[in-house]
Structure 1
Amino acid sequence: MIGQAVSRDAQEIYRRGLEFLRSTQNDRGTWPAGEGAGPGTTALALLAFLASGEDPNHGRYRDVIREALRHIIGSQSAVTGYMGPSMYHHGFATLALCEAYGEVDDLDLIDGTDPDRMRSLGEAVELAVRAALTSQRQNRFGAWRYAPNASDADTSVSGAVVMGLLAARNAAIEVPDESIDQAVDYFGQMTAANGVVGYSSPTDGSGDSLARSSIVNLVLSIAGRKDHPAYEATRRYLVGNQDARTIWPEYARYYQAQALFQSDFETWQSWNQRLIQVLKRTQKADGSFDGELGVTNSTSMSLLALAVNFRYLPIYER
């Protein structure tokens, strides 16, 4: 898949979005996001830069990438490895660290002013994985919820964490098969035969399932479990509902783009062309995107829905 041309419209949308993010990064290395501020917000913006195809060590966004990584590592507990304020943040932050690991030369990443920052990317990833596994072991569903010590679970938070663990496994960080198997079992139990996925129980899946069905389909694709019945069920759901309205369109597109790319390439191609036109029409003059998730997260997730076009990040490989 490498080497295919990216359309001029997609490149221009992406360039303008990255310039907005670069101009709004603050002196702490993160971005303003209201109540959603934290390492997860930093991670999504960081992923957008990493996915652009620019050299992360010598390219134009080198300093933005390093400041974002410093913020994420600085937010991590040196004892537990947790990157709060929720497992949402922890999952997205783990994914970003894993995608940077092996790509970013971290010899000059540490500024030396804070002992908590004196960790390499590899050490930070291993700590993050440990925190996720500890949380899963404490959870009666073998999955995750907002708090690391929660006993209940939901498919949205669990998707963020599992994608982080799968990225860690892709980066040759040890993640026990048992952990992935437990997560797959949980997602399978939450998926109905028609591909609708429940949120916090199998019975609350009616209505808007686009993001959740995308999460389950994507996890099963990346985990190498396309033999699971939930994979084909969610694939059919995504193909049949690809243009359905959703409450959180930026969030849904972020997962939908990856899921369709992995499971039904021809459908993704036509859907992607429509997405480019939607984003071209809705991108603001400053390069940002509005949305319920706040301007930073909405912009980052809109760009990441396009990032599959570049096929640059390891997690986007087919």
Structure 2
Amino acid sequence: MSRIFVAATLLCIAIVVVLKPTAGMAQDFDGNVVSREVREMMDRGLSFLVEAQSDSGHWNDMGEAGAGTTALGLLSLLASGENPNFGKYQMAARKAIRHMISTQDAESGFMGPSMYHHGFALLALAEAYGQVDEDRLWNGSEAVNRRGIGTALELGVRCAITSQKSNPRGGWRYSPGAIDADTSVSGAVMMGLLAARNAGIEVPDEVIDRVLDYFVSMTSDDGVVAYAGGLDGFGESIARSSITCLVLAIARRKDLPQYKATETYLRNHLNQRSAWTEYARYYQAQALFQADIEAWKKWNEGLVRTLKSRQNADGSFRGNMGAANNTSLSLLALALNYRLLPIYER
């Protein structure tokens, strides 16, 4: 046996030893090892979503069928680490995208039934844009409105901008023609716009600046964020403070005092209860991840334990927002462990 052969054999063994995952660990994404229990929860949850998806590609959750519910399911599929063009969720992802595009208003670009849904739809299309092979998107489909993802995204952005122009508050409410705003709906639309901008879609600076001014006006010195109207609106909410903290972080305005205030509030109220627990966790996970990676890691350990106890035998998660929404929001809170969606980049 030659020395070269022996050396090569030892080198291969060494590589295998180094690359062998630690017991209890699973896939490695960009240097980040995802635990086996997270991967198993994700796989079971995604299996439930694929099974619950309609033939047309949407999810009808407690009667709330719309672009937002479909978008959350699509985001969960895209966050899984599976290739959206060739992986095991490719058909489910394509069906969801096709449904969102084919039901979009071809003139206004609105993806309803509310601006809440529209905001999440913008986010999902922006995350799919560039990841999903558009040559394969409509293959075998007979949908009438065969727009590409980029075209649908541009239409959706235009809808949000048109809606904002008629809104004196600079944000959004449920209807595209609303003249009032709330921080929850505005947060959903703003995250969609920021994701679209990251994907290369033109979003004017003045549009972003108006929304930021709105959030600043709704944030108190102690990090409490009002719901609607003004600073006296609806008391404390970990969800709203998390939304504002996240929006300011993704918009790269951590220099604002309102960012520091909401970040401090978030750190000091990590276990605050919410009437909409899954929704709050979805934003809390992202905001904390953007604020302090070490604090997020510690909080995430508790999140994994909590969600493991709340996952049903069929892979869905318990909660008060319907099985599909509960499952999608829970999976997306876990998806920070993967860090694959562009919007999750720090």
Question: Scaled by the length of structure 1, what TM-score is found?
Answer: 0.97
Could you tell me how far apart the structure 2 residues matched to 1:38 and 1:183 are?
A: 24
Could you tell me how far apart the structure 1 residues matched to 2:313 and 2:73 are?
A: 19
1:203 paired residue among 216, 221, 232:
232
1:88, 1:157 within 8 Å by CA — same for their partners in 2?
yes
2:267 paired residue among 225, 229, 239:
239
Q: For residue 134 of structure 1, what is the aligned residue in structure 2?
A: 162
Could you tell me how far apart the structure 1 residues matched to 2:64 and 2:291 are?
A: 31
The secondary structure found in structure 2 opposite 1:115 is coil
Q: CA deviation at 1:205?
A: 4.1
Alignment of 1:44-55 (within 5 A): 44-55=72-83
2:251 paired residue among 192, 206, 223:
223
Could you tell me how far apart the structure 1 residues matched to 2:136 and 2:33 are?
A: 34
Q: CA deviation at 1:206?
A: 1.4
Could you tell me how far apart the structure 1 residues matched to 2:261 and 2:103 are?
A: 38
Letter in 2 for 1:72: M
Q: For residue 191 of structure 2, what is the aligned residue in structure 1?
A: 163
Could you tell me how far apart the structure 1 residues matched to 2:280 and 2:148 are?
A: 33
1:301 maps onto 2:321 in alignment:
no
Q: CA deviation at 1:112?
A: 5.4
2:143 paired residue among 101, 114, 118:
114
Q: For residue 76 of structure 1, what is the aligned residue in structure 2?
A: 104
Q: For residue 19 of structure 2, what is the aligned residue in structure 1?
A: none
Going from structure 1 to structure 2, the CA distance change for 1:112 and 1:278 (only over 3 Å counts) comes to closer
1:196, 1:205 within 8 Å by CA — same for their partners in 2?
no
1:124 paired residue among 139, 143, 152:
152
Q: Please say which structure displays the higher CA radius of gyration.
A: 2
Could you tell me how far apart the structure 2 residues matched to 1:17 and 1:266 are?
A: 26
- Cα deviation code 1:210-252 (max 9, x no counterpart): 0000100000000010011110000000000001111111000
Could you tell me how far apart the structure 2 residues matched to 1:298 and 1:230 are?
A: 30
Could you tell me how far apart the structure 2 residues matched to 1:239 and 1:183 are?
A: 24
- Cα deviation code 1:60-91 (max 9, x no counterpart): 10000000001100110110100011000100
1:10 maps onto 2:38 in alignment:
yes
Could you tell me how far apart the structure 1 residues matched to 2:302 and 2:148 are?
A: 41
1:273 maps onto 2:301 in alignment:
yes
Could you tell me how far apart the structure 1 residues matched to 2:119 and 2:217 are?
A: 21
The secondary structure found in structure 1 opposite 2:56 is coil
2:102, 2:144 within 8 Å by CA — same for their partners in 1?
no
2:76, 2:332 within 8 Å by CA — same for their partners in 1?
yes
1:248, 1:292 within 8 Å by CA — same for their partners in 2?
yes
Unmatched runs of 5 consecutive residues or more in structure 2: 1-28
The secondary structure found in structure 1 opposite 2:32 is coil
Q: CA deviation at 1:101?
A: 0.1
Alignment of 1:12-91 (within 5 A): 12-91=40-119
Question: Scaled by the length of structure 2, what TM-score is found?
Answer: 0.90
- Greater RCO structure (CA 8 Å; 6+ sep): 1
Could you tell me how far apart the structure 2 residues matched to 1:160 and 1:218 are?
A: 11
Letter in 2 for 1:114: A
2:34, 2:338 within 8 Å by CA — same for their partners in 1?
yes
Q: For residue 200 of structure 2, what is the aligned residue in structure 1?
A: 172
1:142, 1:182 within 8 Å by CA — same for their partners in 2?
yes
Q: CA deviation at 1:32?
A: 2.1
Q: For residue 284 of structure 2, what is the aligned residue in structure 1?
A: 256
Aligned length: 316
Could you tell me how far apart the structure 2 residues matched to 1:198 and 1:96 are?
A: 26
Structure 1 vs Structure 2 CA RMSD: 1.1
Could you tell me how far apart the structure 2 residues matched to 1:93 and 1:76 are?
A: 10
Runs of 4 or more above 6 Å deviation:
none
1:94, 1:165 within 8 Å by CA — same for their partners in 2?
yes
